[in-house]
Chain A
């Protein structure tokens, strides 16, 4: 049974933040937490971050990436995460949704700039 990515929308900002961060390629968790709000306005503390990782992994949006590991002994091994194709589709769908939102906001003169298309 396959699932339409749109069914998961809207994504909570934190989830989207993590998906965005993984869009460029596998990363480990260290790079995902932010003490200060980042560009997307999301601040993610360590405890919350790992809950989101667990949730996204369970739902199949991201997966542990076993091909990429840090060097060093087994104790230094750190988990890398990558976007699954389903996760990528969900992130794209969310982006499209946000774009639509933005377009709407512009029409209502709540935002500046030009529409996406």
Chain B
């Protein structure tokens, strides 16, 4: 047949219906056959030609499209190995490109798997990097496991109830002298200081007065200059200070010649003797250090507890030995000073636990949540891989028939899973890197050791390990699938007919697992959300809207006279009151939910001091000006609030809270009774009013007894409440518009005075709940992803079932099965694993809910929550089942039964 005509162009074009692979192999032959045949048909006349063309064109297109759906090829494996012993070792180099090619042929599938894995691994790596930085890494000091914090504890029999409280100077000195287990002990007191002199921008920074031994305990070395020595016994004018790296860079441009220069701190000249390295941050956030001067002749009150202490254990001494020695010493103290040390003693805590104590449970919950998420992700992806294996069942069976060892096929699946997991791990690590860099500068996320959160070697190792585990899990299931059941049974079964339910059980179990884990995550998140919402909805007893806060601290030399301070506040408040839009200006020593000044002793006139077992006479004080109650809209229960008349020279008055009245004046009328603050020995104040309770410590903590004193009547001895106050400015407009004018009012009065922590009351309260908000948000996001993946799993399995059972459904339809019955059949099929998963998940969640951080206003076993979560998951799964079910209903008996 020489001189054969080239095939018609139309045919070449029609052949494009076939996938490229097929075309490459057979298109030329097919076209040649066509041309030959066309020549034969020509002789039969025009009609025959048209008929031939129509039939062939239709068939070529149909076959081409069918080929795209189900390839006739068993793609060629790289030469199957006949040496079973060496099969473990060789062939990887061939499998890798082969698996890669196969994945590239299904980019949608590969992308979905990689992104889902990246989500799971990324969330885990991000949370782990936090756990690593905060909980696992040693503190950044040499031999930091030898560092121990020293704390005081007040048991109720002492009259107080503080599980953790700082020491007093005499207690520190005694312990330092008496112990034999510490190589060194250091103490410090933190405070906020103003740095900057005339002509400089004043700045408020956190400072610490420290014993020279503190740096020795930490084994810190300066970046520049020297540390404090025993000679630095001066905290005040001409005293030495050490700067943090940050302050040195910011205020001195990192100049090397600043050692020996002077710096104005709190209005007096100090000498800069050293600069600490950038990484050094102890106590956390402190920017400037001054010597803590302890005068052996005058140690101060043993009951004035404001000194934090850490120590370094002597080599060879264990923590337990030191604690035992402490117990012995404490018995001695109690015998010597029973009035002070009954129910009050010191104890030790490893410094790391001490630093991170409060966030441990939260991080634990987040870590568990991300682990669950990853499990869901793995189950989902495994399910997908199984579905794909199902589609390739014939290919695999034929391969086995042609001599590919099962091990070979398992290995091929493993290589494929490995590629997917590695890609997922890489993308996930990138997600985590973004998340961590965001977290480190996110507003309001307040974690200890934040600066140590980083993607270090251990985090990368963790990411790699997760990817490896994921790869193992993912290759295991298809491997079971490949090796289970005879090859023959696979070959015999046409993939388009009924696939044995036996093979679907793995995927069903995976769906059940996914649903169970999603239920656990959702229940946890739902509890946290409700707890948070209830906490935000609780009436704190005051309002935070339309109020601006700004803190000022009068430096002592310039305002050492109380009258001068009062005059300054009088004038500041007068000027603030007349600002446009301002309806009220006042001040307070402390602001509810923002800060307090501790719990102070008081005495009630005409009463015996409480004995052991009775409530001690102490409560939280607040020193406020007239208008404060009104500015934050507290409730007046009886009597009156303060007026502008309650000034220094007038009769001293006090307003107590309802909780105060309940606790200390049960069954009595407190109005008209007199009490005095412990520090204020000679002055009794008359109770003139009872204010409604407020939640001042935290929204989640019940109102506690509070007493309010007029700020102008503060005695000069209460130095810091007198000097450091927060201005409270109420406006009828947006308080966020005020900071500029408030600052300029203060600047007009005293250009040297920094105004700081300027923010609306709303913002301040929001930041006080930032941590629970953040935790709740994260958990909700994880739970949302978990639910989405779970629902996707339900959909996937049911859609697969429908596709597999199309012929069966067609027969049922043809035999007249009513639609309702089919719907029921499909839903039961799809939802059986869901219901099982919900039941199991609910039970586990009920047990695990006790591990959640403390909830507010809701029980961890709140029945409604669990019912709503279960119903919600069931509803979501039902909706996911609807689409495949509808597809099943649309199956036409003809199509279903036709064999293409």
> Interface residues, chain A, CB within 8 Å of chain B?
1-4, 7-9, 12, 28-30, 33, 35, 45-48, 50-55, 58-60, 70, 72, 76, 78-79
Contact = CB atoms under 8 A, between A and B. Distances in A.
A17 to B, nearest CB: 14
Contact of B37 (A9, A33, A48): A33
A48 B37 CA distance: 16
A93 B785 CA distance: 53
Range, interface on chain B: 35 or more
Interface of B: 1-2, 4, 18, 22, 25-26, 29-30, 32-34, 36-37, 52, 55-56, 59-64, 66-67, 72-74, 398, 400-403, 405, 487-488, 491-492, 899
A47 B56 contact: yes
B64 A47 contact: yes
A46 B403 contact: no
Contacts of A47: 18, 30, 56, 59-64
> Which among A7, A9, A47 has the highest number of chain B CB atoms within 10 Å?
A47
B403 to A, nearest CB: 6
Given A9-B492, A47-B60, A48-B63, 8 more contacts: A7-B488, A8-B491, A33-B33, A46-B30, A46-B37, A54-B25, A59-B398, A70-B1
B871 to A, nearest CB: 48
B2 A72 contact: yes
B29 A78 contact: yes
Contacts of B403: 1
Contacts of A59: 74, 398, 401
B398 A79 contact: no
A72 to B, nearest CB: 6
Given A3-B401, A45-B55, A58-B74, A30 B33 contact: yes
B156 to A, nearest CB: 78
Contacts of B74: 58-59
Contacts of A8: 491-492
A8 B394 CA distance: 11
A32 to B, nearest CB: 9
Given A3-B401, A3-B488, A72-B1, A50 B26 contact: yes
Contacts of B55: 35, 45
Contacts of B56: 45-47
Contact of A46 (B4, B34, B72, B405): B34
A76 B4 contact: yes
A94 to B, nearest CB: 13
The interface centre, meaning the residue of A28, A58, A72, A78 with most chain B CB atoms within 10 A of its CB, is: A58
B52 A51 contact: no
A1 B400 contact: yes
A91 to B, nearest CB: 16
A56 to B, nearest CB: 9
A30 B26 CA distance: 13
Nearest to B31: A46
Given A50-B26, A54-B73, A1 B401 contact: yes
A50 B32 contact: no
Given A7-B492, A45-B56, A29 B73 contact: no
B401 A78 contact: no
Contacts of A60: 398, 401-402
Nearest to B61: A47
A79 B25 CA distance: 11
A9 B492 CA distance: 7
Max chain A Cβ within 10 angstroms of own Cβ: one of B60, B64, B72: B72
A49 to B, nearest CB: 8
B672 to A, nearest CB: 102
Given A45-B55, A78-B32, A55 B2 contact: no
Nearest to B22: A54
Contacts of B491: 3, 7-8
B899 A12 contact: yes
Contacts of B72: 51-52, 54-55, 58
Nearest to A54: B72
Contacts of A3: 401, 487-488, 491
- Indicate the member of B36, B52, B67 with the most A CB atoms within 10 Å: B67
A15 B592 CA distance: 85
Contact of A50 (B4, B29, B402, B492): B29
A3 B2 CA distance: 43
20 contacts: A1-B403, A1-B405, A3-B401, A3-B487, A3-B491, A4-B488, A7-B487, A7-B488, A8-B492, A35-B37, A46-B30, A46-B60, A47-B61, A47-B64, A51-B67, A51-B72, A54-B25, A54-B26, A58-B72, A76-B1
Contacts of B492: 7-9
Contacts of B36: 30
B33 A29 contact: yes
Contact of A51 (B33, B63, B401): B63
B29 A29 contact: yes
A52 B59 CA distance: 13
Nearest to A73: B2
A47 B22 CA distance: 11
B387 to A, nearest CB: 22
A39 B380 CA distance: 51
A48 B671 CA distance: 102
A84 to B, nearest CB: 11
Contacts of A76: 1-2, 4
Contacts of A79: 29
A52 B74 CA distance: 12
B795 to A, nearest CB: 31
B63 A45 contact: yes
A82 to B, nearest CB: 15
A28 B2 CA distance: 17
A28 to B, nearest CB: 8
B32 A51 contact: no
Considering the complex of A and B, which 3 residue pairs feature the smallest CB-CB distances, nearest first? A47-B63, A45-B59, A7-B488
A78 B405 CA distance: 34
A47 B57 CA distance: 9
A60 B73 CA distance: 11
A47 B401 CA distance: 27
Nearest to A70: B1
Nearest to A79: B29
Contacts of B401: 1-3, 59-60
A104 B66 CA distance: 35
Contacts of A53: 26
A75 to B, nearest CB: 8
A89 to B, nearest CB: 13
Contacts of B37: 30, 33, 35, 46
B66 A51 contact: yes
Nearest to B36: A30
Nearest to A8: B491
A79 B31 CA distance: 13
B30 A50 contact: yes
Contacts of B1: 70, 72, 76
Contacts of B52: 35
A1 to B, nearest CB: 6
A12 B398 CA distance: 16
Contacts of A33: 33, 37
A52 to B, nearest CB: 8
Nearest to B73: A58
B57 to A, nearest CB: 9
Nearest to B21: A54
Nearest to B17: A47
A67 to B, nearest CB: 18
A79 B27 CA distance: 12
B77 to A, nearest CB: 12
A55 B22 CA distance: 11
A37 B787 CA distance: 55
Residue of A28, A46, A54, A55 with most chain B CB atoms under a 10 A cut-off: A46
B33 A46 contact: yes
A1 B399 CA distance: 10
Contacts of B25: 54
A14 to B, nearest CB: 9
Nearest to B41: A35
B59 A58 contact: no
